[in-house]
Structure 1
């Protein structure tokens, strides 16, 4: 009988599963305990000179929340509930004042917008809009990329960036599959031009989803957060049309910059055969089928809401509506407009509405609660004073510094969390330096949505990365240039557009 083989020595490069699970558990425990530990450490120290005890307490809570948001030790919305627990407990504000932020009118603006967006998704209106735009763009690779970007950006102005990306990526993969053709059939790697086209198209969708969201107040949470914070703490109302006058030009410039970067620099594919591309577009178009009653009614409802938002200043004297009321009227109408009375089918029902991203609404409310406390306790002004040494710098340099810091920070943090922490500080810094708070706060809100490098930075980035045609190096190589471009464009918009619009 042959002697038993000695046990295999462990491979240091591939530790056993139990060791990996143990390491993950240790990291999770450290992340979970880091927030409360920082909170207790700050609370154990006396408040620094010039800052009230209440402001120091808010700083301790903000540090706890920032660490949990950064590490995602618990779900982001769960962290956003900490102000409702800790502020009344620690005597910062009472429960009523703290929780009122969770029911802010801007939270209900998002709620109404989400219902309308889900109605579009239920009847596939967003898919029809996207494919029609792509079909018009044509089959030349650069023009097709522009078509995908236009469709994605247009939808992400109204539908969540995540939902838009989830809908656009399968369409893109269908076109890419036709382009790969024989390469995909025999298992060989795609030709360089085909690979560049696939990478460029997927990155174009991710970038356009993030950029498009900056164009409207409901496109991405930081925009509405800014509106809520400025109205609540500075008495500045930001209307839907007013924001579009700023956000749309910024988005258009960034879309053009992203398109040029992808089609001319990092992923050119002009030598690609166009026949397979047309086949992919035709197949996607054929799958649409004829437009149905529900889809047509949804299109009319969406147009009515969007046009009322945009032209509200013209009808204010006749009908005193606000943007939140318009969104809620549209949402209720979706539940009331019948598609087929015989079957009691309506544009929206609760089984579909239950898919609302409630976590975003809680995150939004928690961020407003934290930001309000940062402002009311004097913490924002104190922090603004610390940064005021930059007052000798030219204004454009300060704006570039603020915008660039937020752009790169949001690569590793939630965009709403970043906005919640930095918008109050930026507004206070502006006041300290003698500038309009909007000039400093607007770049923070816009920059928080401009993370183009890392797969984990935004849901659109993660979704296209999961398609399997990109690696981190590809994303960083293209994204870092777009991050710098976004920094410059946003800073210039803050310098020249914001003072004229607000």
Structure 2
């Protein structure tokens, strides 16, 4: 990027923010603070996609903007930079540094490639299914934090070192994020956004909601989402696209490796313990309520620093580890959470929802499509849970006001709350931190968002109306 173009992007960000904050009438989003929150989203999206500054630098814009314009409570904004999810990502990143130091990454990568094979379409299908299955019962962030480092190790071993310049590597990481988003809809345990939805359903019906009912209701939607997303991802690569090498080549590479050392085994055990404990929290939450997945990963990361080789040297030393931790991943994720907080606290999200409610359409299909547009696009600029908290009450108010049964529309809103494809917020920040370009995510995300909006509007109308 030449310097003139870079500066044009740099200046365009604050100019767009100023346009929203100073010149858009306050009645559009309800207040000057709400205008500023929307302007901040536009500014960050522009800088993340065009990259005139480092991605992590853009992630700190919510703090800078909020300090000057006081759009939201500053404590609420900055708390996103030290949330539980941030600690989870930090712990996972530290532990994957120990993989690189001990050589575990090469061992795992060669084993995966020798089993899956290097064909990119097969890779895409299997990574998607793995991510979707795990996300059906686990928080999406936990799934992505656990699976993406493994995929990155595999890609680097296969020669895809620079993920930003590798279409193949970027597609694999995008696949995992898409799978986590789709899988989250399968059961109420797929994420906090689903539990928020369940709470509102129980408030409406005054009865306990059976989780099996959720699975049954969403079964046709889930089948469509899994098939359509995999087909979309498969068509992003050629039939002949492969990672470097053959299945036999990677099998031979795996066989060439020496017997796993003591420190390798310990590193693997710690990661396995962190993953299993995170995945099985429901079994010990009653007697260890504070041991959440984020803290499990941090504890295991601390233990990684205690591992010593036979020659007496430590596997991890902080001075070296801090240089290898993917800090950009952590800050981009935090920045997305922070700007989402500004959108919600300023009232911008409610204002957007009110525009939806003002439609007052008696046409059920138009109402279904509007709900999906509202929830899917809002999920792209804030967290899925925050979207559920904002969107579900609005959907209930609108449908009740129109004299309609709210429950089917709440189900439809739950679909949109779980899906988002375009911007590096929420779990979509994780592959960005490992090198994927936000412009690549936006480029691939726009077509599938349009496809999902059109197809899900039809399918949801058929399924729930």
Whether the TM-score (by the shorter chain) exceeds 0.5 is yes
SS in 1 for 2:67: helix
Residue of structure 1 equivalent to 2:4: 26
Relative to structure 1, the CA distance from residue 482 to residue 127 in structure 2 (aligned partners, 3 Å threshold; closer, same or farther) is farther
For the pair 1:329 / 2:293, whether they are aligned, the reply is: no
Residue of structure 2 equivalent to 1:110: 89
Residue of structure 2 equivalent to 1:339: 309
List per-residue Cα deviations over 1:341-395 (Å, max 9, x = no partner): x523235654134311212222222222221121112111101222443964537
TM-score by length of 2: 0.65
Q: Which runs of 5+ in 2 are unaligned?
A: 132-142, 161-165, 184-189, 201-210, 397-408, 426-430
Residue of structure 1 equivalent to 2:395: 433
For the pair 1:73 / 2:68, whether they are aligned, the reply is: no
Q: Which runs of 5+ in 1 are unaligned?
A: 1-20, 174-201, 220-225, 237-241, 407-415, 451-455, 466-475
Residue of structure 2 equivalent to 1:86: 65
Within 2, Cα distance between the matches of 1:106 and 1:457? 16
Pairs within 5 Å for 1:450-489: none
Residues 103, 264 of structure 2: 8 Å contact kept: yes
Relative to structure 1, the CA distance from residue 280 to residue 492 in structure 2 (aligned partners, 3 Å threshold; closer, same or farther) is farther
Residues 106, 228 of structure 1: 8 Å contact kept: no
Relative to structure 1, the CA distance from residue 374 to residue 291 in structure 2 (aligned partners, 3 Å threshold; closer, same or farther) is same
The Cα shift of 1:117 comes to 2.3
List per-residue Cα deviations over 1:178-223 (Å, max 9, x = no partner): xxxxxxxxxxxxxxxxxxxxxxxx8765433322245569x9xxxx
Relative to structure 1, the CA distance from residue 386 to residue 356 in structure 2 (aligned partners, 3 Å threshold; closer, same or farther) is same
Within 2, Cα distance between the matches of 1:106 and 1:496? 37
The one of 99, 110, 127 aligned to 2:106 = 127
Residue of structure 1 equivalent to 2:21: 43
The one of 333, 338, 344 aligned to 1:364 = 333
SS in 1 for 2:309: strand
Within 1, Cα distance between the matches of 2:459 and 2:320? 42
Larger Rg: 1
Residue of structure 1 equivalent to 2:344: 375
List per-residue Cα deviations over 1:273-329 (Å, max 9, x = no partner): xxx946523442244332222221111111111110111011111222212111211
Residue of structure 1 equivalent to 2:171: 207
Residues 98, 304 of structure 2: 8 Å contact kept: yes
Pairs within 5 Å for 1:256-267: 257=231, 261=235, 266-267=238-239
Within 1, Cα distance between the matches of 2:128 and 2:110? 10
Within 2, Cα distance between the matches of 1:494 and 1:429? 17
Q: CA RMSD in A?
A: 5.1
SS in 2 for 1:336: coil
Residue of structure 2 equivalent to 1:3: none
Residues 210, 449 of structure 1: 8 Å contact kept: no
Relative to structure 1, the CA distance from residue 337 to residue 126 in structure 2 (aligned partners, 3 Å threshold; closer, same or farther) is same
List per-residue Cα deviations over 1:97-121 (Å, max 9, x = no partner): 4322212222112111211222223
The Cα shift of 1:331 comes to 1.1
The one of 275, 278, 282 aligned to 1:309 = 278
Within 2, Cα distance between the matches of 1:27 and 1:363? 23
Residues 337, 382 of structure 2: 8 Å contact kept: yes
SS in 1 for 2:324: coil
List per-residue Cα deviations over 1:256-287 (Å, max 9, x = no partner): 54686589xx4169xx9xxx946523442244
Within 1, Cα distance between the matches of 2:43 and 2:124? 40
TM-score by length of 1: 0.61
Q: How many pairs align?
A: 393
